[in-house]
Amino acid sequence: MPLKKITGLFSSFLIFLFIFTFKTGNINAAISGSSVPADNSYGSLWYFSCRSFLCLPEDINESKKKEKITEGTQKGVYLTGYSMGILKKREEIYKLINETELNCIVFNAKDDSGYINYDTKVKLAAESEAKNILYDIDEVLKEMNERNIYSIARVVAFKDAVIPKVHPEFAIKDLRNGKPLYSEGSSWPDIYCEDYWDYVIDIVKELAIKGIDEIQFDYIRGPARGNIAYADYTYNINNNSKSWALQNFLMKVRAAVKDYNIKISADVFGFVLIENNDQGIGQLIEDIEPYLDYLYPMPYPSHYSTGFLGYKLPEEHPYEVVRYTLEKGLARVNKSNCIMMPWIQAFGLKINYTKNDILAQIKASEDLGINGFLFWNASNKYEIVRQALFERYQLSENLK
């Protein structure tokens, strides 16, 4: 039969279904994608025929509850406190999670500036005016729990422009003037200062009581750039290594939350997986990973220098860069119970990243047996992630 005739017959069939569905009074449900009643066989036929014809994932526009995740299968996106405070944005991300294999959200609890983004009751936060309330944490946790979405509270550990203003004694000092050191656009609490550790731990305990599934420490390090030549760690009275400070901080965190059902994780630079030292910032993998449930390296191809692996522009080679980095890291963490999963670059720096670049990074991870990943986009724009995950779904369906 000629193709033109086949196309005509199929079009007529769809028109017939459309008219018949309209007469049953369920066309609005069919068009909107809302659930079609079980006793409406014609409406159901129209709905599923259209979905199949358009190659849409099975759960698109359906209010299905996500399955509870197993360890090491976190697949999520990052949201700022501002995004968490916008219902429309949360609903957009909930929809993305519902339509794809995503199952978690990483959101700011203590942000890059040192502000707490929810209504914390921690005394030092109130005294230091460190509260910048952007969302109701009880409300958003309720929403996520109803959808079985795994919650990860991002706590920026040792980059904090707020506390050193009120307690300059907590800060890394500048050798030139004795004032808090300013580096990477911020002041930094001294990573050896246990009074500051206790402040962060109070926040962690509060989040644990709230029912957060996981605490993720970011900036768990000393400053890496800027005025680091003038950094004076006055609390380091025994001349201990920076990795010793981070190790002992995590040990104290562990002791504080031992009675809570919560996971502890940390973000680290991708390059610390490659080099067997702490890169001058304290991130020595062997020292810190025994106290972590999860380790999230950031092997963003855009952050590697010209010449890395022989590439003029490493950002153009996401698979090779990510795989090489993670392979080096796996050899160092596989001896413990800590599970490593990468942050995936969901943005472009020198080039425009597409869904293919997203898929390349995922493939690099999965080729090494890693089952989870997180997407980072500072602006919280995840259209290319949606495109990539839809394509993964379609490819997997074609292989069945």
pLDDT reading at 8 higher than 60: no
Residues 6 or more apart whose CB falls under 8 angstroms from that of 3 comprise: none
CA–CA distance, 136 with 216 (Å, rounded to integer): 19
Average per-residue pLDDT in the chain?
87
* CA-wise closest residue to 364 among 393, 330, 313, 334: 330
CA–CA distance, 8 with 166 (Å, rounded to integer): 75
* CA-wise closest residue to 284 among 266, 299, 302, 301: 266
Instruction: Place domain 75-398 in its CATH homologous superfamily.
Output: Glycosidases (3.20.20.80)
Tell me the per-residue pLDDT of 141-162, one tens digit each, with 9 for 90 and over: 999 999 999 999 999 999 999 9
Q: What are phi and psi of 247, to 5 degrees?
A: -60, -45
Q: Identity (one letter) of the amino acid at 283?
A: Q
CA–CA distance, 299 with 105 (Å, rounded to integer): 20
HSE at residue 16, side-chain half, CA atoms within 13 A, is 7
CA–CA distance, 337 with 320 (Å, rounded to integer): 26
Tell me the per-residue pLDDT of 271-284, one tens digit each, with 9 for 90 and over: 999 999 999 999 99
Structure confidence at residue 312 (pLDDT):
97
pLDDT reading at 57 higher than 80: no
- In eight-state DSSP terms, residue 235 is T
Tell me the per-residue pLDDT of 287-301, one tens digit each, with 9 for 90 and over: 999 999 999 999 999
Q: At what angle do helices 318-333 and 355-366 cross, to 10 degrees?
A: 30
Structure confidence at residue 22 (pLDDT):
37
Q: What is the percent of the chain where pLDDT is above 70?
A: 83
Structure confidence at residue 400 (pLDDT):
62
Contact 184, 159 (CB under 8 A): yes
Tell me the per-residue pLDDT of 336-355, one tens digit each, with 9 for 90 and over: 789 999 999 999 999 999 99
Structure confidence at residue 62 (pLDDT):
43
pLDDT reading at 264 higher than 80: yes
CA–CA distance, 28 with 34 (Å, rounded to integer): 8
Structure confidence at residue 67 (pLDDT):
75
CA–CA distance, 119 with 243 (Å, rounded to integer): 32
Contact 146, 119 (CB under 8 A): no
CA–CA distance, 216 with 193 (Å, rounded to integer): 20
Structure confidence at residue 44 (pLDDT):
33
Average pLDDT score over residue span 395-399: 71
Structure confidence at residue 334 (pLDDT):
72
Residues 6 or more apart whose CB falls under 8 angstroms from that of 55 comprise: 394, 397
Query: pTM for the whole thing?
Result: 0.83
Structure confidence at residue 54 (pLDDT):
38
Within the chain, which residue ranges are assigned CATH 3.20.20.80? 75-398
